[in-house]
Amino acid sequence: MGGPAKVLVVHSPKDVTQVKRLLNDVERRLKELEQKWSRYKPDSLISLINARAGSGIATEVDAETYHLLEVCRKLWTESDGLFDPTAGVLRQVWDFQRGTLREPEKLPALLHCIGFDRVRVSSSTVQLEKPHAELDLGGVGKEYAADVAAAMLREAGYKNGLVELAGDIVALGHNPNRSPWQVGIRDPASPEQSHMTLEIENAAVATSGSYYRTIHQGDHQYSHLLDPRTGWPAEGPRSATVIAENCLIAGAVSTVACLKKTSEASEWLEESGLPWLLVSAEGALLGPLCQKSS
Amino acid sequence: MSKLIMLRTDSRLVRSLGATLTALPAYQSALADAPPAFTEVGLRYSHYSEDSLPEERVIFGSPSRYDIDVTQLWIEAPVGGAWSIALDVQNDAMSGASPWFVGLGLDGEPGVIMSGASIEDNRVEVGVTTRYFWADGNAGLAISHSEEDDYEALSFAFDVAWNSADNSRTWTASASSSNDNVSPVKERIPVFIDEESLNTQSMYFGVSQILSQTKIVRIGLSYTQSEGYLTDPYKFADRRPDTHDKWTLSAGYRQFMVNMDAALQADYRYYHDDWGTDSHTIEIGWHQNLGKHVLAPYLRYYTQGEADFFSPIADRSQPFYADDYRLSSYGALTAGVRWTVQFGDWGIEAQAERYRSNNDWSLFDGDAAPALVDFWRATVGLSWRFD
Amino acid sequence: MKTVVLNIALFMLPLWLHGCTAIEPVSAWERGYLADPAMQWDRGKREAKFAGHVYTSKEASSGGAGAAGGGCGCN
């Protein structure tokens, strides 16, 4: 799933060995999820499903993968197809490292491979009906993993801690100083600095957008999120940050927002009823979070 | 700087996404005890029909028995973040005849004298249940009122369930109380009382335990005490004690079959009362998931021993007596199948069940009652959920 | 007669609790199957209520599925 992982647990000194064991368990569990869902790992479950695209062979999946794909289906429906876990196939023509469109002539054929409606999911198997189709759990997989880590802390009896997986954050309780966790939201213009600090307790923050990987085409700067309908990077906001009860909801809502045009993104975020922040393509800050900040 | 505390939202989008999360392991401890995410309204219609008695068992009257049309209507809604409320309305439209008493036929075998002309009665039950949810459990309070021509009942029930710290064990306790009034309709057949009352208190204690990722078991004990008028006023030869103490010991087991995407369901109940009746009930079910559809066949075997004061032809010289087939020794087999499907916010259900009883199928000794009941019941239902 | 039932209960409980020692710990993230509707104790609230009513009014036994409700609808 990529990106650094950080797990903090607030505990008393006598719990040191216990917490070490817990953190080991968390690490093992996160690696297990990565082994299932990372498309960067050639031997992951997702890579196996992708390799079998169009072959007619169904791949056996565990209940957790099945249920996460059901969350994807819900999000795909709710976003009218804008969030599509099969859109990742478009990466074949877009070079995010260099920021260029490599083979424009391939685009129409790839667009044909996209469509979550052609992913056959049963409670024990997954099958991509179209040849060359690819499944990618970006926007939900890492966010779910952050919730898993937080749930493990909670289950082990630790009420205060922080989980951060490549920018997605779950805050449990308060920090060691008994005050809310301070979470920095990065400034898209200068990724090293955070342009806003949020104080959160028992909440999750997810940010989607073009912080790390962007594409420059002429004067345009595109996000690494690709619109499954056009095959081009979404021309929406640079980033969207959402706070929710759990990271999966926050990630799902913010990911879809980044695929929409800025005005439609605001509507979508407003409809969610959750606190949000949007950085428009021009760099303007929008949303209830920036109004509250000073 | 900004401080955010309230993350509960009324948004349909977030609630709809949240509902899909409940199946994911990371959220199960957090969402184990949460109010429903949606408001649900539903309507069910059932038809219950008893087989006619065999002609040779009827000495007098029509052999046809009871038919009931049952309509259930409900609405259940979340209230705030921690409560739910449900309103249930049920209407039973009953018609038919029932056994009045058992006498000796010309062949020397016991036969039934039926209650004569068709009886029409209507029962309306209205119930309200409120439930409170917290992190480790939930508790409900229910009030229900039932009324028909000759019977009125008001009952209260309280139940609570709480989970162990690791959420692997759930304790359940409940208590209920019912105040009933019977005032028989007199024009049908001779009755000997004007109005009588009955009070019933009941309690249950149970515990369920997760055994593995696919297995869960529970056991429960219940005790019910009734005091008041327990005789059937429409039966000619029926006189029962005015107290009735009942105990049950029940056990259940569920095992999920991952390869088949199905579950095996097994339940057992032992029952004992101070009228001398013991019974065993065993039910085996199979729940097959088929995408959006579920097909669930089940088999039930029930057997009971006769009450101390039962005899096929009531002995009215005794302090207590009854010829009611419900107090006789018999065994009963039920086979049923239930089908449900969920299309988005719409749920459809259909179910059919056949019940047959026979004195020969009993595990207990005792004389055969001539009026044992066989019946069909079938149900169709529709539910819709919304925000 | 009461003592009979109590004896059975006391006998069954320790037996069952003893069985608990062999229980596998199941973490929250391993409860996907247990959360399937197939693992519910009843076939839906309304069906359970209706079925309970039918059996209770036709058989001598009742109880075992939580506390009893009210109403007759017998015959």
Angle between helices A63-78 and A141-155 (to 10 degrees): 130
The two structure tokens encoding residue B159:
């139940």
Q: Would you call A271 and B13 a contact, using CB atoms and an 8 Å cutoff?
A: yes
Contact B42, C46 (CB under 8 A): yes
- CATH architecture classification, A49-128: Orthogonal Bundle (1.10)
Residue of A26, A74, A285 to mutate, testing the B interface (most B Cβ within 10 Å of its Cβ): A74
Q: Please tell me the distance in Å from C41's CA to the nearest CA on chain A.
A: 21
* Positions of E strands within chain A: 5-9, 59-60, 94-95, 100-101, 119-121, 125-128, 161-165, 168-172, 181-187, 190-200, 203-209, 214-217, 220-223, 239-244, 276-279, 285-286
Judge whether B6 lies within some domain: no
Q: Would you call C29 and A64 a contact, using CB atoms and an 8 Å cutoff?
A: yes
3-state secondary structure of A170: strand
Q: Would you call A151 and B5 a contact, using CB atoms and an 8 Å cutoff?
A: no
Express as a percent the part of chain B with pLDDT over 70: 95
Express as a percent the part of chain B with pLDDT over 90: 63
Q: Which chains does chain B touch, 3 or more C-beta pairs < 8 A?
A: A, C
Please report the pLDDT score of residue A175 as a whole number. 86
Which of A192-199's residues contact partners 24+ apart within 8 Å by CB, and which partners?
A: A195/A285, A196/A277, A196/A285, A196/A289, A196/A290, A196/A293, A196/B2, A197/B1, A198/A243, A198/A289, A198/B1, A198/B2, A198/B4, A199/B1, A199/B2, A199/B3, A199/B4
Q: Would you call A68 and B21 a contact, using CB atoms and an 8 Å cutoff?
A: no
Residue of B29, B205, B221, B308 to mutate, testing the C interface (most C Cβ within 10 Å of its Cβ): B221
Judge whether B119 lies within some domain: yes
Q: Would you call B11 and A274 a contact, using CB atoms and an 8 Å cutoff?
A: yes
Please report the pLDDT score of residue B22 as a whole number. 75
- Element housing A14 (H / E): none
DSSP B305: P
At residue C35 the predicted structure's pLDDT band, cuts being 50, 70 and 90, is confident
How do residues B312-342 score in pLDDT, each as one tens digit?
Answer: 999 889 999 999 999 999 999 999 999 999 8
Q: How many CA atoms lie within 13 Å of A112's alpha carbon, on the beta-carbon side? A: 8
How do residues A248-267 score in pLDDT, each as one tens digit?
Answer: 999 999 999 988 888 899 99
The nearest alpha carbon in chain B to C39 belongs to B254
CATH of the domain at B223: 2.40.160.40
C40, C59, C66: residue with CB nearest B204: C66
Q: Would you call B46 and C44 a contact, using CB atoms and an 8 Å cutoff?
A: no
Complex ipTM value: 0.88
Chain C positions in Cβ-Cβ contact with residue B213 (cut-off 8 Å): 24, 26, 30-34
Judge whether B5 lies within some domain: no
How do residues A265-281 score in pLDDT, each as one tens digit?
Answer: 999 999 888 899 988 87
How many residue contacts between A and C have a Cβ separation below 8 Å? 16
Q: Would you call A249 and B24 a contact, using CB atoms and an 8 Å cutoff?
A: no
How do residues B247-299 score in pLDDT, each as one tens digit?
Answer: 999 999 999 998 888 999 999 999 999 999 999 999 999 999 997 899 999 99
How do residues A181-194 score in pLDDT, each as one tens digit?
Answer: 888 887 666 666 67
Q: How far is Cα B229 from Cα B227, in angstroms, rounded to an integer?
A: 7
How do residues C7-25 score in pLDDT, each as one tens digit?
Answer: 343 344 444 444 444 677 7
Which position has the higher pLDDT, A288 or B28?
A288
Q: Would you call B26 and A289 a contact, using CB atoms and an 8 Å cutoff?
A: no
Q: How many CA atoms lie within 13 Å of A43's alpha carbon, on the beta-carbon side? A: 1
Please report the pLDDT score of residue C21 as a whole number. 46
Chain A positions in Cβ-Cβ contact with residue C29 (cut-off 8 Å): 29, 64, 148, 151-152
Q: Which residues contact B275 (CB under 8 A, 6 or more apart)?
A: B240, B241, B244, B307, B308, B309, B327, C60
Judge whether B7 lies within some domain: no
How do residues A56-104 score in pLDDT, each as one tens digit?
Answer: 899 999 888 998 998 999 899 989 898 999 987 887 777 666 666 777 7
Where does CATH 3.10.520.10 sit in chain A? 157-292
Q: Would you call A154 and B29 a contact, using CB atoms and an 8 Å cutoff?
A: yes
Contact A169, A143 (CB under 8 A): no
Q: How far is Cα B152 from Cα B124, in angstroms, rounded to an integer?
A: 10
Q: Please tell me the distance in Å from A175's CA to the nearest CA on chain C.
A: 25
Task: Assign a CATH topology to domain A157-292.
Answer: T-fold (3.10.520)
pTM (two decimals) = 0.66
Contact A101, A92 (CB under 8 A): no
Q: Give me the residues of C, 8-47, that contact B with CB < 8 A.
A: 8-9, 12-13, 16, 20, 23-41, 43-44, 46-47
Please report the pLDDT score of residue A218 as a whole number. 58
The two structure tokens encoding residue A279:
């950085």
Q: A185's torsion region: left (phi>0), alpha (psi -120 to 50) or beta?
A: beta
Q: Would you call C32 and A155 a contact, using CB atoms and an 8 Å cutoff?
A: no
Q: How far is Cα A151 from Cα B139, in angstroms, rounded to an integer?
A: 25
Q: Which chains does chain C touch, 3 or more C-beta pairs < 8 A?
A: A, B
Judge whether B4 lies within some domain: no
DSSP states along B126-150: EEEEEEEEETTEEEEEEEEEEEETT
Please report the pLDDT score of residue C12 as a whole number. 42
Mean pLDDT calculated for residue range A278-286? 84
Q: Which chains does chain A touch, 3 or more C-beta pairs < 8 A?
A: B, C
Q: How many domains does chain B have?
A: 1
Please report the pLDDT score of residue B125 as a whole number. 95
Q: Would you call C29 and A151 a contact, using CB atoms and an 8 Å cutoff?
A: yes
The two structure tokens encoding residue C17:
């609790």
Give the residue among A240, B260, B178, B15 at the shortest CA–CA distance from C38. B260
DSSP B14: H
Please report the pLDDT score of residue A294 as a whole number. 40
Q: Which residues contact A230 (CB under 8 A, 6 or more apart)?
A: A111
